[in-house]
Structure 1
Amino acid sequence: MSIPEPIAAERLEPLNELPVEQHAEVLDALYTDLAETLRENGA
């Protein structure tokens, strides 16, 4: 299962504006949100 394209693009675009050191924190939050969404949808 993949992240719907509009959501992925919208969430990941700000990474370009952040220092590389913060990318892991943002991606961790993204994957946490994804995991919660999958649990809510019974995946």
Structure 2
Amino acid sequence: MGYYKYLKKLWKKPKENFNKLLGGTAWRDKLAEFRKQPAMLR
């Protein structure tokens, strides 16, 4: 049960938590990477 509590918290604020995990501008870099990829991945 404890795992889901933390997962819920991470899911609600992905921008804040993603930066904490990877540091600094990681969120912006990841969004740019997503834009360059095709819309459908197999």
Q: TM-score, normalized by length of structure 2?
A: 0.33
- Name which structure has the greater RCO, CA cutoff 8 Å, separation 6+: 1
Q: Mark the structure with the bigger radius of gyration.
A: 2
Q: TM-score, normalized by length of structure 1?
A: 0.32
Which has a greater percent of helix?
Answer: 1
